[in-house]
Amino acid sequence: MKKLNNTTTIFLSILLILAGIGFVYLIYEIWTIFGFWRLTLTGVIEILASIIFLQFLGSAKSESNGVLIYNPKEWPKLLGIAVFVGVAYYLYDYIEKKDNLSDLEYYYGLSYLIILSLVPTLIFLYKLIRDSRDYVKINNGVLSYKDNRVKEEFNLSDIESCESKNNGVLLNLKDKTTHLIPLKQMNFNFKDRLNLISELDDIIKQMKK
């Protein structure tokens, strides 16, 4: 058994080393194909788009007849996706027109764009559409939310406190139990989460007075 464990450890170590070498080679090839500064510039553009469009714009709070609803808007995230698609197309157009690019390098660059740009963008777009109807609502002393097919509700009088945790809001109930509202998978961005948690915390504190 000890010999088998040693063999397994050696095998996994070899795989890890090979994976590390492959990753370094991947980075080298990508830089060779696209160029260091081109990748750096497009990377900075995508990071800025992610921060601006995906994390800070689109906070949607509505209030009518005492009913408060948080249902994040989709258009800023769609703008972010448009930026990602634009960057991917720019890089694709570059390898299409680049001279002296071998077939292997071309398909290598194309695979990079598919795996690290196209696939993540399609997954994000799918989740955006899937979660577009998710919300958190406060109405007549009741906190409720919808996460796809999951619906839950709590009396605000039963909530002792709330806090930010795991990209969601953790409800600490008076019966010593807790419940996590998974805001991140409900299309809530960073600003949405901050606003909701702050407002919910204020409401709970007001009810204790």
Mean pLDDT in consecutive groups of 10 residues from the start of the chain, 209 residues: 61 80 77 86 89 74 77 82 91 87 84 86 85 83 85 86 83 87 84 84 78
* 53 and 105 fall within a common domain: yes
Structural domain range at position 174: 135-208
* 156 and 112 fall within a common domain: no
Tokens 């989709």 map to which residue?
Answer: 74
Residue 188 in any domain: the answer is yes
Residue 195 in any domain: the answer is yes
Count of structural domains within the chain: 2
Query: In this structure, how many other beta carbons lie within 10 angstroms of the beta carbon of residue 143?
Result: 24
Query: Rg for the chain (alpha carbons), in Å?
Result: 24
* 9 and 100 fall within a common domain: yes
Residue 69 in any domain: the answer is no
Residue 114 in any domain: the answer is yes
Strand 159-165 and strand 168-173: pairing?
A: antiparallel
* 160 and 90 fall within a common domain: no
> Which ranges in 72-189 belong to alpha helices (H)?
75-97, 103-113, 119-130
Residue 67 in any domain: the answer is no
* Total residues belonging to the chain: 209
Give the model's pLDDT for residue 160: 86
* 6 and 93 fall within a common domain: yes
* 48 and 143 fall within a common domain: no
* 17 and 87 fall within a common domain: yes
- Domain finish residue from 85, 115, 130: 130
* 27 and 85 fall within a common domain: yes
Query: In this structure, how many other beta carbons lie within 10 angstroms of the beta carbon of residue 71?
Result: 19
With beta carbons less than 8 A apart as the criterion, state whether 144 and 152 touch: yes
Give the model's pLDDT for residue 6: 63
Specify which residues 161 forms β-bridges with.
Answer: 172
* 32 and 104 fall within a common domain: yes
Residue 123 in any domain: the answer is yes
How much is the pTM?
0.73
* 44 and 111 fall within a common domain: yes
* 79 and 158 fall within a common domain: no
Residue 68 in any domain: the answer is no
Residue 66 in any domain: the answer is no
Give the model's pLDDT for residue 91: 92
Give the model's pLDDT for residue 203: 83
Give the model's pLDDT for residue 1: 52
* 126 and 140 fall within a common domain: no
